[in-house]
Amino acid sequence: MTDITASSLPVAAPPARRDIGLKKRYAAEARFRMYGIAAITFGLVFLAIMLGTIISKGHTAFWQTTVTLPVTFDPTLIDPQNKRESDPSVLIKANYDKLAQQALISKLGIDAKSKPEVAKLKGFLSDSARIQLRDMLVANPALMGQTVTVPILASANIDSAFKGQVDLTVPEARRKVKDQQITWMNQLAAEGTLAEKFNTGLFTYGASSRPETSGVGVAIVGSLYMMAIVLVLALLVGVAASIYLEEFAAKNRLTDLIEVNINNLAAVPSIVFGLLGLAVFINFLGMPRSAAIVGGITLSLMTLPTIIIATRAALAAVPPSIRQAALGLGASKMQMVFHHVLPLAMPGILTGTIIGLARALGETAPLLLIGMVAFVANYPATPFDPATALPVQIYMWANEAERAFVERMSGAIIILLVFLMAMNLTAIVLRRKFERRW
């Protein structure tokens, strides 16, 4: 036996590590991670740019340049022939533009006889001054002969210029605001007569051909009518349908058909619902065009699948032990559902409903088809009157050429987004507050 000594063995070189390309693989790993971060950054940056441009364009819409003028209701201008006692229509037809102009002339201290000077005043104040002064006098005829301090809207061009949105380096002939008007504007601003005030008109006016007197008030009312209709119809029908499918339906062909239908309706393009509304509600059933009732029903059908899917998930989350306990104490199946399961599922149902409502509030396409893209200047008194909706109003302003309408449009988008944000926050709070883990 010979001892094998270590020295007798050939000295093995330490095994070289096989090149398995670790470096490359780690580089690939790092790259892959970067792709993921880049993808998320892309989405977030786009979101930030989009919201940023809309807010930067729209925040000025909440302020409106207003000129506060002492207006004299001069009887010789309003009623030169002094027959307002016998003919009240004189008060309606009078030349109120002249009154506002007179007030502006005396305020600026320009020569009333200088025709070119006076001509340059045209387009300084909003045309709405006429209606404003007329309504004041008709409501209170005692104002005749008195001098009242009235805040009058500046025209859209002066408004833009005062907000610094007009490029003054452009030759005077090619812009709508003349140099003389700018001088007057600065003069009045220095006196404090002309100033930016919070734009309440944006929330109260309806559609108008003048940017300074157009607002989303009428559109918001139309949207609220539709939301109320969607809330009632879609919530009632949706909850009823979900209860049937989740608690009562037998597993058969009909149930399968209904389920497939609901899933498909959730993915049908919204414009198809508009075609349905036009053909069935307006053309076949003869409901009024561009009314909130038709829009509300159409949006309800569109929202129904969302609410059904959310409600079924909420019902299914209620544990079976609750049902068994109720049945064990002698409740009927209907009592079990309505007294025990439904109240426990309510937070989930409400969350789903609010999210569905938020989708319906921002929906535009189906409303275009049922004629809600109409020039509606008056508040709809009932859901059967012509109405428009907030997103449709935004769409109509998008088709206007004037700079001032873009500002209004961006302001309206901010209002819409605030509404949506509030609804989604409510949904989140509801979920946090009432959610129960079983």
For another protein, which is the closer residue by CB, 50 or 329? 50
Closest approach, Cβ 250 to another protein, in A, equals: 11
The site string for another protein over 221-260 (x = CB under 8 A, - otherwise) reads ---------------xxx-xx-xxx--xx-------xx-x
Residues 117-136 contacting another protein, CB under 8 A: none
Listing DSSP states for 165-187 in one string gives: -S-TTS-GGGSSS-HHHHHHHHH
Compute the least distance from the CB of residue 412 to another protein, in Å.
10
Provide, rounded to whole angstroms, the least separation between the CB of residue 12 and another protein: 25
Distance, in Å, from the CA atom of 276 to the CA atom of 366, rounded to the nearest integer, reads 9
Q: Which is nearer to another protein, 102 or 165 (CB)?
A: 165
Question: What residue has token string 């036009």?
Answer: 278
Distance CA 201, CA 210 (A): 12
Which residues is 71 bridged to in the sheet? 148
Q: How far is the CB of 115 from another protein (least distance, A)?
A: 40
Among residues 373, 376, 387, 415, which is the contact residue for another protein, using CB under 8 A? 373
Q: Which is nearer to another protein, 189 or 417 (CB)?
A: 417
Distance in angstroms (rounded) separating the CA atoms of residues 213 and 126: 8
- Closer by beta carbon to another protein, 27 or else 112: 27
User: Rounded to whole angstroms, how far apart are CA atoms 83 and 92?
Assistant: 13
78 binds another protein (CB under 8 A): no
Nearest distance from C-beta of residue 257 to another protein, angstroms: 7
- Number of residues located near another protein, criterion CB under 8 A: 82
What gap in Å lies between CA 173 and CA 432, rounded to an integer?
61
Q: Are 158 and 186 in contact (CB under 8 A)?
A: no
Residue 382 interacts with another protein (CB under 8 A): yes or no: no
Amino acid at 133: L
Sequence-distant (6+) residues with CB within 8 A of 307 are 234, 235, 238, 239, 242, 349, 352, 353, 356
Closer residue to another protein (CB): 73 or 273: 273
Residues 272-311 that bind another protein (CB under 8 A): 272-273, 275-276, 278-280, 283-284, 301, 304-305, 308
Smallest distance from another protein to CB 275, Å: 4
- What is the closest distance, in whole angstroms, from the C-beta atom of residue 20 to another protein in the complex? 9
- Name the minimum Å distance from CB 403 to another protein: 11
What span, in angstroms and rounded, lies between the C-alpha atoms of 312 and 110? 73
Q: Does 185 bind another protein (CB under 8 A)?
A: no
Sheet containing 147-153, strands listed edge to edge, beginning at the edge strand earlier in sequence: 147-153, 63-72, 194-198
**Between 100 and 356, CB nearer to another protein:** 356
Q: Is 59 in the site for another protein (CB under 8 A)?
A: no
How many alpha carbons lie under 13 Å from residue 318 in its C-beta half-sphere? 26
The token duo for 340 is: 């025990």
DSSP state letter for 426: H
322 lines the binding site for another protein (CB under 8 A): no
Please give the backbone phi and psi of residue 63, each rounded to the nearest 5 degrees, phi first: -120, 145
Site string for another protein, 3-42 (x = CB under 8 A): ----------------------xx-xx-xxx-xxxxxx-x
Among the listed residues 194, 226, 318, 413, the single contact to another protein using CB under 8 A: 413
Distance CA 204, CA 180 (A): 32
End-to-end CA distance of the chain: 76
The verdict on 395 binding another protein (CB under 8 A) reads yes
Give the one residue of 106, 200, 261, 382 binding another protein; rule: CB under 8 A. Answer: 261
Cβ at position 174, least distance to another protein in Å: 20
CA distance 323 to 321: 5
Tokens (6 digits) for 105: 């002339």
Choosing from 70, 269, 328, 343, the residue that interacts with another protein (CB under 8 A) is 269
Kindly state whether residue 438 participates in binding another protein, applying the rule CB under 8 A.
Answer: no
Q: Does the protein bind another protein through residue 378 (CB under 8 A)? A: no
CB of residue 436 to another protein, shortest distance in Å: 21
CB 7 to another protein: min, Å: 37
For residue 12, the 8-state DSSP code is P
Residue 104 or 390: which CB sits closer to another protein? Answer: 390
By CB under 8 A, is residue 265 in contact with another protein? yes
Judge whether 362 and 421 are in contact, CB under 8 Å: no
Q: What part of residues 339-368 is at the interface with another protein (CB under 8 A)? A: 358, 361-365, 368
Do residues 352 and 314 make contact, with C-beta atoms less than 8 angstroms apart?
A: yes
